[in-house]
Amino acid sequence: MYCCNTNLQSLIYKILLIFIFFTFNIFAQATKNFSITPLPVIYYSPETRLGLGAAAAMVFRLPDSDSARTTKSNIQPFFIYTLNKQLMSNIPYTIFGNQNKWRTEGELAYFYFPEFYFGLGNNTPESTKQLVSFKWLRFLNKTGFKINNLGYWGWIAEAVSQWDVRPQGMGIFQQNPPLGSQGSFITGTGPLWMWDSRDYVMDAHKGWFGDVSLTYFNKGLGGRAEFWRFRTDFRYYYNLSKKKPHILAFQAITQFTFGDAPYRHQPPLGGDQMLRGYYWGRYRANHYVALQTELRFPIYKRFRGAIFAAAGQVSPSLSQFMISQIRWTAGVGLRFVIHRADRVNIRADQGFGNNTDGFYLNLGEAF
């Protein structure tokens, strides 16, 4: 059975120390540029049930940045423990350099996450559901440098360890064990292109966002699996009103995986961000395509509403995508603005799919 790789642990600890030093250094040099909103967290999703914890929304500009031409950076650390005995801790970040000449984003995450496994494919029955617990450590970083009007060009680096994998009872996980059922350790890197003309990262009212990456996971970098991942993420935001924000937002995601990818690195359908209403990972396979749209509008003072719809599908091969197999969801949401200047929202969504539904309570917009 795989365990958490010692070298990866050492690397993660060093990165965490650098991150903490970097954060406090920013505090020391540019306290006036900081906005920090600490929050007690009440979190809910079908995957976790009720979760309690703490989070912070840190919004800032780097020292010596031109405030008129530099997008605000953000770090949103959180720690949550759920009624399903899951532990989730993460430090996601998006940081912009002076006048947006460079940007870097990513996360440092540790999960202890019992979750249901249904098998692989787009048509797995509900009866195959089996609870599987595991521990998960992930480092992801994307860094790009702006080249004229051609967007950001750079690289992506990722290292993930999954260990202490324990299925509950006897079921499909043992009868037809997927690749990575005993744990996995992957490392990968590759080229990256990004475009970002959004007016605000955490709650965009206008602009485009694009993210295209090709990542090669291989044993030469210390991992224990070899596969390719090609991923795209495109978003567009349009304000329908000049007086108050009535935002029409669109997102399209594709992910194509070639090679021997461990099961949890095959793209999942569902969750609190895309196809809300489906359990995260309810369907999982090598290839994934999904679209969603959302209308966000003011209701009263700090309260805002949302209406959303999405469609998507996973498939073990490109030739097996079928229009008749598309999964869909639709739903409504409520937002409460806790920090107007930095557009920090609490989000509550109710999504409905085909014989499924899900309620989500989270911090920040879905996309």
| pLDDT tens per residue, range 142-154 | 999 999 889 999 9
Structure tokens at 257: 């995986």
Q: Measured at the alpha carbon of residue 251, what is the angle toward residues 36 and 298, in degrees to the nearest 5?
A: 55
Distance from C-alpha of 138 to C-alpha of 168, rounded to nearest angstrom: 24
Q: Give pTM, 2 decimals.
A: 0.87
Closest CA to 141 of 86, 102, 83: 102
Give me the percent of the chain exceeding a pLDDT of 70. 91
119 versus 48: the higher-pLDDT residue is: 119
Segment 201-226, tens digit of pLDDT = 889 999 999 999 999 999 988 899 99
Give me the percent of the chain exceeding a pLDDT of 90. 69
Distance from C-alpha of 250 to C-alpha of 182, rounded to nearest angstrom: 38
pLDDT confidence bin for 200, thresholds 50/70/90: confident
Segment 164-199, tens digit of pLDDT = 999 999 999 999 999 999 999 999 999 999 999 999
195 versus 42: the higher-pLDDT residue is: 195
242 versus 195: the higher-pLDDT residue is: 195
The pLDDT value recorded for residue 21 is 56
Is the dihedral angle over the CA atoms 16, 18, 24, 27 positive or is it negative? negative
3-state secondary structure the chain: CCCCCHHHHHHHHHHHHHHHHHHHHHHHHHHHHCEEEEEEEEEEECCCEEEEEEEEEEEECCCCCCCCCCCCEEECCEEEEECCCCEEEEEEEEEECHHHCEEEEEEEEEEECCEEECCCECCCCHHHCEEEEEEEEEEEEEEEEECCCCCEEEEEEEEEEEEEEEECCCCHHHHCCCCCCCCEEEEEEEEEEEEECCCCCCCCCCEEEEEEEEEEECHHHCCCCCEEEEEEEEEEEEECCCCCCCEEEEEEEEEEEEECCCHHHCCEECCCCCCCCCCCCCEECCEEEEEEEEEEEEEECCEEEEEEEEEEEEECCHHHCCHHHCEEEEEEEEEEEEECCCCEEEEEEEEEECCEEEEEEEECCCC
Residues paired with 332 in a beta bridge? 307, 350
216 versus 338: the higher-pLDDT residue is: 216
CATH of the domain at 306: 2.40.160.50
Is residue 230 pLDDT above 60, yes or no?
Answer: yes
> Which domain does 40 fall in, by range?
6-363
116 versus 48: the higher-pLDDT residue is: 116
The pLDDT value recorded for residue 24 is 52
Distance from C-alpha of 171 to C-alpha of 129, rounded to nearest angstrom: 8
The pLDDT value recorded for residue 31 is 47
pLDDT confidence bin for 7, thresholds 50/70/90: low
Alpha carbon of 250 to those of 100, 343, 352: distances in Å?
A: 24, 19, 18
> Is 1 within the bounds of a domain?
no
One-letter amino acid at 121 equals: G
Contacts of 284 (CB under 8 A, 6+ apart): 118, 120, 121, 263, 266, 267, 268, 269, 314
Structure tokens at 123: 């048509």
25 versus 182: the higher-pLDDT residue is: 182
- CA end-to-end distance (rounded Å), the chain: 36
Total domains in the chain come to 1
Is residue 125 pLDDT above 90, yes or no?
Answer: yes
> Is 301 within the bounds of a domain?
yes
Question: If you average pLDDT over every residue of the chain, what do you get?
Answer: 89
Is residue 14 pLDDT above 70, yes or no?
Answer: no
> Is 14 within the bounds of a domain?
yes
